[in-house]
Copies of this chain bind each other. A is one copy, B any other.
Amino acid sequence: MNSLTELSDNETNYFASFEDVEAAARRLEGIAVRTPLLEAPLLNEELGYRLMVKAEPLQRTGSFKFRGAYNTISQFDETARKAGVVAFSSGNHAQGVAAASSMLGVPAIIVMPSDAPAIKVANTRAWGANVVLYDRYKENREEIGARIAADSGAILVKPYDNPGVIAGQGTVGLEVVEQCSEVGVTPDAVVIPCGGGGLSSGVTLVLSRLSPATDIWTAEPDGWDDTALSLAAGERISVDGTVKTICDSLLPNAPGELTFPILRDMAKGGLAVSDAAVKRAMAVAFRHFKLVVEPGGAAALAAVLDDKIDCRGKTVVCICSGGNTDPALYADILREQSA
């Protein structure tokens, strides 16, 4: 692991603010799905705590990524809309950008790894985006994205290190706070799947303002726990990213430059989960919440069900961030877990 150099800007401004999340919520009203916050009382009884699941697999394009993409692209001026967008993504950001671009009439080029799940590539193409595949073991997607942006004039929409994206993802947190308040609870903890930190930092901006007593935790796959290590160290640390994991949507190997300062100052800490725990969580989501959750999307639920924090007697919200997974993989997991 290595520590990374920091941006020189004054980080206490955080590049995105609570007010930016509120503005994003206004842009997304009637456009994004207000996904339900689900409960399973029988499971609560088994667990000995109150578990609430924010169901982002039900979001447009099957993950929270649509929120940040739409919030960003909808703020483009006429010239930018004509120039189009370019994005690099292992899948969910790709679909979010492709869908938002299509709704807003903006052309999109998406750079995807050639081994991304077939369903994610197919869906991105179906949204009308021009998909460019690359080899993620040999090529660097950021360089390819930057080159395409330079050549075509298209605007690069980064998956997490982008204030508009952070603010858009933060609307998940606004809904969690509203939905908890509708049933009269203040969550003791909110646990959030974390790749580059767009979702977790956006949600953190909201919780630290509206629900300061709530502990905020990130959840990452074992061996890809750069955010957990960075939070413990107080500075951005990268991991080598060689450990195999089924969580294909959580593979950034370092926290974002814009996202990390937010988490560093306001999150409680980071958790890491095994593939086995993720599979159990996917089976629980299926059985108790009737929800299809992809491996990376189940990381927070996995951390909680695997007792990575002490939840006894508490109220805990797990964000399930996406549901784009190959049915055959889910079938194998269901078979395994019900055997």
Measured CB to CB, the residues of A under 8 A from B are 30, 33-36, 38, 41-42, 45, 55, 57-58, 60, 62, 99, 119, 123, 126-127, 182-183, 283, 286-287, 289-293, 323, 326-328, 330-332, 334-335, 337-338
Contact A33 B36 (CB under 8 A): yes
- CB contact under 8 A between A287 and B334, given known A36-B36, A38-B33: no
Chain B residues in 8 Å Cβ range of A338: 326-328, 331
Chain B residues in 8 Å Cβ range of A45: 126
Mostly, the A contact residues are: helix
When chains A and B are docked, how far (Å) is the Cα of A45 from the Cα of B283?
31
Contact B337 A327 (CB under 8 A): yes
When chains A and B are docked, how far (Å) is the Cα of A203 from the Cα of B11?
54
Chain B residues in 8 Å Cβ range of A126: 42, 45
Contact B291 A30 (CB under 8 A): no
Chain B residues in 8 Å Cβ range of A33: 36, 38
Contact B335 A331 (CB under 8 A): yes
Q: How far is the CB of A291 from chain B (nearest CB, A)?
A: 6
Q: How far is the CB of A63 from chain B (nearest CB, A)?
A: 9
Partner of A36, one of B58, B119, B127, B289: B58
With CB as the reference atom, state the residue of chain B lying closest to A183: B30
Partner of A35, one of B36, B57, B291, B332: B36
A-B contact pairs, 11 of them (CB 8 A): A30-B183, A34-B36, A36-B58, A38-B58, A42-B123, A57-B290, A286-B292, A291-B292, A326-B338, A331-B332, A331-B335
Contact A42 B183 (CB under 8 A): no
With CB as the reference atom, state the residue of chain B lying closest to A326: B338
With CB as the reference atom, state the residue of chain B lying closest to A119: B287
Contact A328 B323 (CB under 8 A): no
Q: How far is the CB of A318 from chain B (nearest CB, A)?
A: 16
When chains A and B are docked, how far (Å) is the Cα of A290 from the Cα of B332?
17
Partner of A287, one of B290, B327, B332: B327
With CB as the reference atom, state the residue of chain B lying closest to A293: B290
Contact B327 A286 (CB under 8 A): yes
Chain B residues in 8 Å Cβ range of A60: 41
Chain B residues in 8 Å Cβ range of A292: 286, 290-292
Chain B residues in 8 Å Cβ range of A332: 331
Chain B residues in 8 Å Cβ range of A34: 36
Chain B residues in 8 Å Cβ range of A327: 283, 286-287, 334, 337-338
Q: A286-B330, A330-B331 are in contact. List 16 more A-B contacts (CB 8 A).
A: A33-B38, A34-B36, A38-B58, A41-B99, A42-B123, A42-B126, A42-B127, A119-B287, A283-B327, A286-B327, A287-B327, A292-B292, A328-B334, A328-B335, A331-B338, A334-B334
- CB contact under 8 A between A290 and B183, given known A126-B42, A331-B331: no
